[in-house]
Structure 1
Amino acid sequence: MATSPASTSTPARATVTVVGSLNMDLVVRAQRLPQPGETLAGQTFAQVAGGKGGNQAVAAARLGAQVTLVGCLGADANGAQLRAGLEAEQIDCTALETHAAVASGVALIVVDDASQNAIVIVAGANGLLNADALARHDAALAAKVVVCQLETPLDAVHEALARARRHGATTILNPAPANGPLPDGWLMLIDYLIPNEHEAAALTGLPVDSPDTAAAAAAQLRAGGARNVIVTLGAQGVLALLEGTPAVHHPAPKVHAVDTTAAGDTLIGALAAQLAQGVAAQEAIAFAQHAAALSVTRAGAQPSIPFLAELQR
């Protein structure tokens, strides 16, 4: 699909830097997800660009931001294809390093008939992103908004957040995947912490399966230092606990879901693009939900991410 028409008129001030992973997604559709030790017959197979860093960068670019991506690829066919796809989206890839010693990251994804998925990731070159690389690309972290996830080494994520904070950027952390609480001192570096319900539970040790339980988890994370917390709840929408306001539940738009892969990444990229343009947080959340809802109506990770013009109809 061609680059969004909006990308040619994006204000220079609406800058977003994404620090994160790039994967080639190997996607199988099956009637249901397999049980341990079980072999199922798949229905379709596709190979598409993905990785949370790549997905969120594409979402931010398609939805109105001038985007720079900081990350690592292997010197292989997947890496070349991933880079070419990002450049076609007019994403600045000058801080995207290529390493000959390892393969590019891959993700193995199974999607069932209920549009739920199971994912296994092999980090590959993503594991080489480190504090030295962030120092080399420090200028990229002087954006309006800097977005990170946890699919790259933790020391690199912390370095990115700390450098972005020193530059005065608004910081967003999507703590995916999260297996437990964040290290000490991290929450104070985060302006917007955006976990899903499983990640919020892992971060806090609290059960999270509804807006009310999400509000309790968000309150704990706010108390720990995160400035704003947005818990995504799939079909239940999002729970937002923003600075200076009580928790607000935003129900999800009603759509027919085909594939939920990259819905969260679309929401985060859309939110980053809106915040970079100075849009108020509650309005930015509503826009991001609209974008995420549209993404689940079609298959794939990056192929499902909408363009700004689609949301303005």
Structure 2
Amino acid sequence: MSTRLPAVTVVGSINLDIIATTDRLPTAGETIGGGVLQQQPGGKGANQAVAAARLVGSARMIGAVGDDAQGRLMLESLAAAGVDTSDVSVLDGDATGTALIVVDRDGENQIVVCPGANAGFSLEGVEFSAEETVLCQLEVGLPVVLEAARRSSGFFVLNAAPAIDLPGELLERCDLVIVNETEYELIPALAEAKLVSVTYGKDGSAMFEHGRRVAEAPASAATVANTIGAGDAFCAALVLALRAGLSYARALAVANAVGADAVSDPSSQPALAPLEEYISRVAGVGVNPR
């Protein structure tokens, strides 16, 4: 058995995405016909682990699925992407998490998440090495995220989505918090965080230290097919780029390029090029240095 550390260890959600694609999103109480239905692997945690594995060849997933056909499909999909699933729990009596998603022709979406097994797992028996990079989100129980923060001593990253009030202990432990502009506004405490990355869609992304903007990078051009997994791909790429030693601005540019490829792919777990290719691709892009 290899003792080589995974590039990223992700503690987070694993879902089956059930996606209906329509011309436009329904309003309250409205029924829209003519949709196209598909099912595919998803969940913010699994999406980030798969993105990391596709970018650099390795990732470790810590989470849970139900003891059902959907759970077996999720495990097979993660393993096929190169993700180590040895610490994914299979919970008897719980259904695998499910996300019900409606996507319009412009790639905008509405999502309802049914957590299932994501709400029922713990970190009992899971170990973290001192050098391990850990990435969490908030589609699993906050106690699990707090436990991961307490038990891991390496580089710790929180994708604070969905947005909730963050305990001071958790925020202080984060070496990096990643959010979109809406989440940044909904979590005022982030203005005091040591390092926060904020995405602005077509306006690119920026890095803040204790509320002070210290770097930014423009968005990469993209044809939007699906925005569901783009933020997750951005998270994985940003963490990997920073851990590779890139400056804040260059790491943001790389993550923007990965996110652009992700929105061009209809999958929640899009095909991606190796990280080195994105680093080369943004070499001439104008960015605001750190």
- The answer to whether the Cα contact below 8 Å between 2:217 and 2:249 also exists between their aligned partners in 1 is no
Inter-CA distance 305–234: structure 2 relative to 1 (3 Å threshold): farther
1:70 pairs with 2:55:
no
Task: Provide the secondary structure at the position in 2 that maps to 1:136.
Answer: coil
Contact 1:49–1:301 (CA under 8 A) maintained in structure 2: yes
TM (normalized to structure 1)? 0.83
The answer to which structure has the higher strand fraction is 2
Letter in 2 for 1:149: Q
Q: How many residues align?
A: 277
Residues 266 and 305 of structure 1 are in contact (CA less than 8 Å); yes or no, is this contact kept in structure 2? no
The answer to whether the 8 A contact 1:17-1:70 is kept is yes
Q: Does 2:103 correspond to 1:136?
A: no
Match of 2:77 in 1: 85
Please give the alpha-carbon distance, in whole angstroms, between the structure 2 residues aligned to 1:89 and 1:242: 34
Equivalent residue runs for 1:48-59 within 5 Å: 48-59=40-51
Percent identity, aligned pairs only? 37
- In the alignment, structure 2 segments of 5+ residues that lack a partner are 282-290
Looking at structure 2, the residues matched to 276 and 84 of structure 1 have their Cα atoms a distance apart, in angstroms, of 28
Distance in 2, matches of 1:142 and 1:39, equals: 52
- The residue number in structure 2 matching 1:196 is 180
Alignment partner of 1:40 is 2:3: no
Question: How much has 1:174 moved relative to structure 2?
Answer: 0.6
Question: Partner letter of residue 182 of structure 2?
Answer: H
- SS at the partner of 1:138? coil
**Compared CA separation, residues 245 and 14, structure 1 to 2 (3 A):** farther
Cα distance in 1, alignment partners of residues 37 and 260 from structure 2: 23
* Secondary structure of 1:260 counterpart: coil
Over 3 Å counting, the alpha-carbon distance change for 1:275 and 1:14 in structure 2 is farther
Give the CA deviation at 1:129: 2.2
Shift of 1:113: 1.4
Aligned to 1:285: 252
State yes or no: 1:308 paired with 2:277.
no
Q: Which runs of 5+ in 1 are unaligned?
A: 1-10, 205-219
Match in the other structure for 2:287? none
Distance 1:151 1:107 in 2: 11
Within 1, Cα distance between the matches of 2:120 and 2:246? 35
- Residue aligning to 2:236: 269
- Per-residue deviation at 1:45? 1.3
Q: Is the 8 A contact 2:54 2:82 kept in 1?
A: no
Structure 2: which amino acid aligns with 1:202? L
1:45-84 CA-partner distances (Å, limit 9, x unpaired): 1100000000000011111152111001101011000000
Counterpart in the other structure of 1:208: none
Equivalent residues of 2:25, 2:102 under 8 A apart:
yes
Alpha-carbon displacement from aligned partner over 1:289-313 (angstroms, at most 9, x marks no partner): 11110111121201x2413176467
SS at match of 2:169: coil
**Structure showing the higher helix proportion among its residues:** 1
Aligned counterparts of 2:271 and 2:230: Cα–Cα separation in 1: 8
Cα 1:283–1:65 shift into 2, 3 Å = farther
Distance 1:174 1:91 in 2: 19
Q: CA deviation at 1:25?
A: 0.2
State the alpha-carbon separation in 2 of the partners of residues 143 and 18 from structure 1.
14
State the Cα deviation string for residues 246-303 of structure 1 (Å, max 9, x = none). Answer: 433322112221211111000001122223434333322211111110111121201x
1:298 partnered with 2:265: yes
Letter in 1 for 2:234: L
Q: Quick check: 1:249 aligned with 2:216?
A: yes
Relative contact order higher in (CA < 8 Å, ≥ 6 apart): 1
